[in-house]
Amino acid sequence: MSKQVETSIKLLAVLALTILTIYLFPDYDYHAHYYVEVGKPWGYGLVTAESSFPIYKTEAQLNEERTRLLRDFAPCYVPDSALTAIPDVPVIRYADMEQLKRDEYSRIAIVINRVSTVLPLSSIYTPKTAYEAFGQEYKVNLFCDTALTNKMRHSLLSQIILTQGLVQAGEKIIDRGEIVTERDAQLLESYHRAMEQRSLSNKQQLWRTTGQTVIILLFIVLFILYLYVFRPNLLRETSAVLFFCLLTAIIITITCLTLRYTTWSLYLIPFAWIPVLTRVFFDSRTALFLHITTICILSVAVPAPFEFLLIQTAVGMVAVASLRDMTKRAQLTRTAAWILFTYAIAYTAATIGATGDWHSINPYAYLYFAVNAVLIVCAYGLIYLFERTFGLLSSITLVELADINSDLLHDLAERAPGTFQHSMQVSNLATEAAKEIGANALLVRTAALYHDVGKMLHPEYFTENQTDVNPLLHLKPTDAAKIIMAHVSDGVEIAKNHHLPPMLVRFIQIHHGTSLTRYFYNTAVNSGEQVNISDFQYKGPKPSSKEGAILMMADAVEARSRSLTDYTEQSISEVVDKMIDSQIADGQLSETPISFRDVERIRTVFKQRLTTIYHHRISYPELKQ
């Protein structure tokens, strides 16, 4: 994929995130919506009316008025079509009588030719009661007119006035710390309804959308600027940028949909997914910066933004601090426990600090925090999903792959024992070097175990597996070089067949860079034959990361050290310097972000480690007889 295409994909991802956020942002009126609890101190800031609005009656008040109006209401009945006057013995169905009693009606209205006559329910009979009263059978002669009854009821209820009083623009509704009364709750609910009914003009809508867009873009650009200054390698990786955009989009979508369509608490939303998942694949600083960027964007939409920012910032910091290197599942559970504890402490402190009253604490909030912690643990499944989607590698996966009892490494040990031992030594050297310069030690350790896996197809051609004569010495230099270089392409094929992550496959491709099979190249040149240098050159590419550079250096140094006949500090030091200097001179490290200082520290580690491995041991005396 060309750089232009990759750049276009990254720009489209950022643009899609911005558009999605703008589209999902809650409506303008949401800022008037608060969590109201009568009898508790008001935990938000000062609320004043942006414009005049009516005070809506509470549902209890409206129900009381409906009950009063309907107390004397009479359902409408019409006589049988054969009757033109009110029957002497008015009879209705038994089911109608029971329904009238359940609805507590005391009378009915008999409508004949649009003239209504009201009769008390006590003068109305059913077929049974009429027979008991008069000693003869009577048929039902009055029937309920449901349509007319509903129409009359609706007309009566429409007389109810839904409002009482008016709040003027700029008038205070409630202030922080004040005890919420029934009246305050009524005013706040009226304010919310008024804001819902308020419609913005096209010009206001345009300015609102523009303001939100600028804020969202501001924080997204700040995060991109952070990557550009401190993590340029991540900004260059399309998969990393897509990961950041998708993870942010998931949390923003969940939050905005919750605000728009539910009354759920925001504390149920696992905002800590961002620092946890980002830390699993990248570094702590990036994880915290992305988390802060996301909650700053969302603070524009949520109620009580100060409390939201305070608590979520604390949670993000704890999530990053408690998850340095996730190599075991239990670490995620421990992180979730710390997040639960932080939520509880931060919420309690923020609530008491704002109101000065313990009673203002919502006990259900702690249940929300517990559910949130469970959702954090569920992020383990997302780790696997993101690994497969973006080709990333988590520490857990690396630990699993580094198990030398895995099927592929076991096959390597069985079929090419010398190569396996070489890979183990390279892994140890590379791990120590990575720790020394702050690179990803677990990544380079695992990559080193698999870097020569291609040799298992033809182990007899590689010196570490040979006990007799080298069969390559009987071949033409070009043919021998081709066989040696094939272990890279063979390794890539084997790794893909065993579904190794793309990142490890890349380490197999780069561990020789574009270097020469120097032994056979020199042999061909010295023989006087015409040489095509590409016949002796690995296809690459060159390493582009510190970890790739470390693996290349460790592989060359370890292989060359096996050819020594005398292991002394001086001979080991000369081998290390010669191999690393030749790689630098050949330009194999030119695309890596490794410094001269890092190289010198790596040299020192290699020398110390090899000296320890090959140090002379004392000879044990034999018993004299």
CA 500 to chain centre: 24
Q: Has residue 426 got a pLDDT over 80?
A: yes
**Residue 290 pLDDT more than 60?**
yes
In this model, does residue 618 exceed pLDDT 80? Answer: no
Contact yes or no for 580/554 (Cβ under 8 A): no
pLDDT for 327 equals: 67
Could you give all domains of the chain from N- to C-terminal order, each with its CATH number?
3-27+203-390 (no CATH), 63-157 (no CATH), 395-613 (1.10.3210)
Residue 244 pLDDT: 97
What does the pLDDT average to over 398-424?
A: 93
Look at residue 429 in the predicted model and tell me its pLDDT: 96
**Is pLDDT of 512 > 70?**
yes
Q: Per mean pLDDT, which of 123-127, 161-165, 187-191 is the most reliable?
A: 123-127
pLDDT tens digits, one per residue of 5-16: 889 999 999 999
Instruction: Say if CB 124 and CB 69 are below 8 A apart.
Output: no
- How much of the chain exceeds pLDDT 70, in percent? 94
Residue with tokens 């942002």: 25
**pLDDT > 90: what percent of the chain?**
58
> Does residue 433 contact residue 576 with C-beta atoms inside 8 Å?
no
In order of 35, 121, 295, the CA distances from 252 in angstroms are: 21, 61, 9
Predicted confidence (pLDDT) per residue in 242-268, tens digit: 999 999 999 999 999 998 888 788 999
pLDDT at 617 > cutoff 60:
no
pLDDT band at 608 (very low <50, low <70, confident <90, very high): very high
pLDDT over threshold 80, residue 29: no
pLDDT at 33: 53
> What is the per-residue pLDDT for 263?
77
The residue ranking higher by pLDDT, 340 or 67, is 340
pLDDT score, position 350: 86
Q: Is 604 helix (H, G, I), strand (E, B) or coil?
A: helix
Q: What average pLDDT does this structure show over 154-177?
A: 87
Average pLDDT over residues 210-231: 93
Q: What does the pLDDT average to over 54-79?
A: 89
pLDDT at 377 over 50: yes
**Mean pLDDT (whole number) for 51-73:** 87
* Residues 508, 453 contacting (CB under 8 angstroms): yes
Which amino acid is residue 28, in one-letter code? Answer: Y
Sorting pLDDT into bands at 50, 70 and 90, what band is 462?
very high
Say which residues have a Cβ less than 8 Å from residue 357's Cβ, sequence separation at least 6.
40, 41
Burial class (CB in 10 A: 0-12, 13-18, 19+), 95: exposed
- Cis peptide bond prior to 270, omega within 30° of 0: no
Here the tokens at position 76 are 């409408």
Q: How far apart are CA 202 and CA 187, in angstroms?
A: 28
Whole-prediction pTM: 0.70
Q: Which pLDDT score, from 0 to 100, does residue 489 have?
A: 96
pLDDT interval class at 120 (50, 70, 90): very high
The pLDDT of residue 625 is 60
| More confident: 18 or 193 | 18
Beta-carbon count within 10 A of 263 CB: 8
Q: Which residues make Cβ contacts (< 8 Å) with residue 247, sequence separation at least 6? A: 273, 274, 277, 278, 290, 386
> Do residues 438 and 484 touch, judged by C-beta distance below 8 A?
no
For the beta carbon of residue 544, count every other beta carbon within 10 angstroms. 17
pLDDT band, residue 30 (cuts 50/70/90) = very low
DSSP β-ladder status, 47-48 and 172-174: antiparallel
pLDDT of residue 467: 81
Q: How confident is the model at residue 187 (pLDDT cuts 50, 70, 90)?
A: confident
3-class secondary structure, 111: strand
Mean pLDDT, residues 20-49 taken together: 72
Residue positions counted in the chain: 625
In this predicted structure, the answer to whether residue 31 has a pLDDT above a threshold of 50 is no
Q: Does residue 544 carry a pLDDT above 60?
A: yes
Residue 35 scores a pLDDT above 80:
no
Q: Closest by alpha carbon to 347, among 331, 333, 330, 368?
A: 368
- Helix, strand, coil shares of the chain as percentages rounded to 5? 65, 5, 30
Q: What is the mean pLDDT of the chain?
A: 89
